[in-house]
Amino acid sequence: MSEAAPTEDLQDLYENAPCGYLSLSPAGRIVKLNTTLAVWLDTSAHALVGQSVHALLSFGGRIAFETHLAPTLRLQGTVNELALDLVGANGGKVPVIVNAAEKRGPDDAHLFTRMTIFKAVDRRAYERELVEARDRAQATANAEHDISMLREQFIAVLGHDLRNPLAALAAGLSMLRSKETFSDRGQIIAKEMGASISRATALIENVLDFARGRLGEGLTLVRDADEPLAPVLEQVVNEIRAVVPDRQIITRFALDRPVNCDRGRMAQLASNLISNAVTHGAAGMPIDVEAECCDGQLTLSVTNGGVAIPLDAQARLFQPFFRGAVRRSQQGLGLGLFIVNEIAKAHGGEMKVSSTDEATRFTFTMPLSGSAQRDPEASEPFAAG
């Protein structure tokens, strides 16, 4: 014969269940609790019967009981997963999760409030760790944001305040050149001073463009298709030739139709690209500057000889403050190509670079669709990366 299945001892199940059981009178007095709960509280069930439930609760637990558990029970008859802290006989807190339901009689009279209580020590610890981790991450993010804003505001103020003395230096040098007679040595010094002022002015303009983009003012475009673009590019090339007369710069411009663009920004883009070629290209090799309107788009490219740019560096060339491996004499802020890329994007175009041991070529392309429609007031946001 098969052995009879054992029957469950309901009294033992109640007393030694893996959770606490608690029954309260309508007045909130403890009517019954199991041994499990009494052990958690380091006391006996007999010692707690007849006491107010508040005797088991921490200060915060009492508030939660009166403001949430009791009112919700009256309205719904049940409460699920309410977090409370019980207080043991030794004064220590026991974090718990409570489910509660009302027991009512045939006449709907409230007889008891039955509560099932689960220990939540590990859960509370995990929740606290999550909250602390979130707070640390938020504090770190806030600190980084504050530092970033301070840095960018400093850059903007610095750039703004440096332009005035540079403008004064440029004006003074121009007056000296027009009214004073220099020796051969003096002419060389004056020329170098002019080149340094131009270089510093270009750096400051790049810094200001970067700061405007990061601080929300944005890089604006004033498009105009009424004036030709080629003379603007020729002027940029001539200015750079005057600064570095020993470098050969070859131009090929085939701009046979109006280009609706910001000519000032296009001059800035071309100047940065050519200056980059002068700085990093092989000194004995020519720099080719080409621009043409073909197949519905404007293409502007600057090509120089020299050592190829590594592939990993090519991927970061248009990031702010990236300079790659440069010689001490070539140190800069690393904003030139970043500004070039932002000007390209603001025009709806893009920048590309190709580099081999034979030549490095930077190419800007933008669509000509809509170029004939002049919109001088149009301005586009600086898409700071």
330 has pLDDT over 80: no
Residue range 230-367 in CATH 3.40.190.10: no
8 A C-beta contact, residue 96 and residue 20: yes
222 has pLDDT over 90: no
Q: How confident is the model at residue 362 (pLDDT cuts 50, 70, 90)?
A: very high
Q: How confident is the model at residue 322 (pLDDT cuts 50, 70, 90)?
A: low
Q: What is the CATH number of domain 10-119?
A: 3.30.450.20
- pLDDT confidence of residue 142: 84
Q: What confidence tens digit (pLDDT) does each residue in 152-163 have?
A: 666 666 666 676
What are the start and end residues of each CATH 3.30.565.10 domain in the chain?
Answer: 230-367
What are the start and end residues of each CATH 1.10.287.130 domain in the chain?
Answer: 140-215
Q: What confidence tens digit (pLDDT) does each residue in 250-264 have?
A: 999 999 888 999 888
Residue range 140-215 in CATH 1.10.3470.10: no
What are the start and end residues of each CATH 3.30.450.20 domain in the chain?
Answer: 10-119
Lowest mean pLDDT among 48-57, 72-81, 137-146, 341-350: 137-146
381 has pLDDT over 90: no
377 has pLDDT over 50: no
Q: How confident is the model at residue 180 (pLDDT cuts 50, 70, 90)?
A: confident
Q: Are strands 110-119 and 249-254 parallel, antiparallel or unpaired?
A: unpaired
Q: For residues 196-213, give the mean pLDDT.
A: 71
Q: How confident is the model at residue 23 (pLDDT cuts 50, 70, 90)?
A: very high
Q: Between 124 and 291, whose confidence is greater?
A: 291
Q: How confident is the model at residue 324 (pLDDT cuts 50, 70, 90)?
A: low
329 has pLDDT over 50: no
- pLDDT confidence of residue 161: 67
Q: How confident is the model at residue 290 (pLDDT cuts 50, 70, 90)?
A: very high
27 has pLDDT over 80: yes
Q: For residues 91-113, give the mean pLDDT.
A: 91
- pLDDT confidence of residue 385: 34
- pLDDT confidence of residue 331: 47
Share the mean pLDDT of the chain: 83
